[in-house]
Amino acid sequence: MSARLLAAEQPEDFEFNDEFSKLAQARIAMYPEGKQASAIVPLLWFAQKQHDNWIPEAALRHIGDMLGMAYIRVLEVVTFYTMFNLSPVGKHFVQFCGTTPCWLNGADAIKNVCKEVIGNENTISEDGEFSWLEVECLGACVNAPMVQINDDFYEDLNEDNFKKLLEDLKAGRTTNVGTQVDRLNAAPCGGITTLTDDALFDGSMVGSYKQVMQEIEKVEAEAKKVAELEAAEKAKEEAAEKAASEKQETKPEVKEAVSVKADDGAVSDAFKPDMLSEARNGEADDLKVIKGVGPKLESVLNGLGIFHYSQVAAWNADQIAWVDSKLKFKGRIERDGWIEQASSLAKEGDK
């Protein structure tokens, strides 16, 4: 960072001329009452524009008075920004960027040209045409190395084109602002490498664009359909899980039998379940759908007075033990889950 000192020789006073006074007042009026200090940067810029590209101390005091700011506050702002010159500069003021991207791309050669053609930093050339200052990044790194001369950027510099540029400026010739090589704005050297199809810009792709949009809409519609199917499937699975868990919850609880078995496995008739002399309405349930019950066993069950799922579903542990002993099943009724099966079947419809 360069030292920010006020010039040794200063004019006595400073006043904005009509043009800049109007601009300054308009800028101040943009801020709410009490916030006029916010206009300091544009006012400093106007002072520099009016005063040969540098700001005298009298202008700093004048601006401080206009904005109701202490002079030291104005000085703090003006010395922070290298865009403000605090001493006279050449007619063509060169701000040379020496920050890393520019330095890596050959800024040293540009600096040497400044020294060789103009002289030491912060001094005006003998003919009054030039002065230069090293500054931090000016934001055009992609086209490094670069300099700012007065209000213009010159980019992609090298020793030769920079020397020529200074010669042209001195001679009053027109110069090419911006890049000095075969480059469009900040595109790659030698021409753009992307978006090169003319059809992108001549309107001929409007039809294709419509086609693409239609394809996108189609894909989106398909995706929506798949999502809906997946959601429906998921809802179905959740409903099945819920039904299963409800069924689980309502599963009949078979308490442990308390019936006393004789040595031969017989169970007292006190635990005999309710039996029917015949099927209700003369129509028995198909007991064969219960696992382990075949035609023969169904006939035995009917003979005992068991015709309906609801009868089986209603058995408690002692009654199961009684039926088990009669059929000599040795626990098969429980193992095969007759009670659970009969409960489900009874819900579906007992006769």
Among left, alpha and beta (phi > 0; psi -120 to 50; other), residue 93 is beta
Binding mask 313-342 for ligand FES (x = CB under 6 A): ------------------------------
Residue placing its CB nearer to ligand FES in the complex, 101 or 305:
101
Of the candidates 141, 147, 267, 323, which one interacts with ligand FES according to CB under 6 A? 141
| Number of residues counted as binding ligand FES (CB under 6 A) | 11
**Which region among 33-41, 140-148, 239-247, 327-335 touches ligand FES (by CB under 6 A)?**
140-148
Residue placing its CB nearer to ligand FES in the complex, 75 or 102:
102
What are 93's strand-pairing partners? 131
Please report how the helices 18-28 and 57-67 are oriented relative to each other, as an axis angle in degrees rounded to 10: 40
Residue placing its CB nearer to ligand FES in the complex, 150 or 250:
150
Residue placing its CB nearer to ligand FES in the complex, 89 or 140:
140
Residue placing its CB nearer to ligand FES in the complex, 104 or 239:
104
Binding mask 75-114 for ligand FES (x = CB under 6 A): ----------------------x-x-xx------------
Q: How far is the CB of 137 from ligand FES (least distance, A)?
A: 3
d(CA 116, CA 107): 14
What are 134's strand-pairing partners? 96
Q: Is 28 in the site for ligand FES (CB under 6 A)?
A: no
Phi, psi of 27 (to 5 degrees): -70, -40
Residue placing its CB nearer to ligand FES in the complex, 24 or 138:
138
What are 155's strand-pairing partners? 179
Residue placing its CB nearer to ligand FES in the complex, 141 or 290:
141
Burial of 162: CB neighbours in 10 Å, binned 0-12, 13-18, 19+: buried
Per the CB < 8 A criterion, the answer to whether 302 and 277 are in contact is: no
Q: How far is the CB of 90 from ligand FES (least distance, A)?
A: 21
Q: How far is the CB of 140 from ligand FES (least distance, A)?
A: 5
Q: How far is the CB of 108 from ligand FES (least distance, A)?
A: 13
Q: In three state form, how does the secondary structure of 127-186 look?
A: CCCEEEEEECCCCCHHHCCCEEECCEEEECCCHHHHHHHHHHHHHCCCCCCEECCCCCCC
Q: Which of the residues 109 through 138 are near ligand FES (CB under 6 A)?
A: 137-138
Per the CB < 8 A criterion, the answer to whether 178 and 187 are in contact is: no
The residue type at 178: G
The residue type at 56: P
Q: How far is the CB of 106 from ligand FES (least distance, A)?
A: 11
Residue placing its CB nearer to ligand FES in the complex, 31 or 81:
81
Per the CB < 8 A criterion, the answer to whether 347 and 287 are in contact is: no
For residue 261, the SS3 value is strand
Q: How far is the CB of 79 from ligand FES (least distance, A)?
A: 22
Residue placing its CB nearer to ligand FES in the complex, 102 or 313:
102
Q: Which of the residues 202 through 221 are near ligand FES (CB under 6 A)?
A: none
d(CA 264, CA 270): 17
Q: Which residues bind ligand FES (CB under 6 A)?
A: 97, 99, 101-102, 137-141, 144, 146
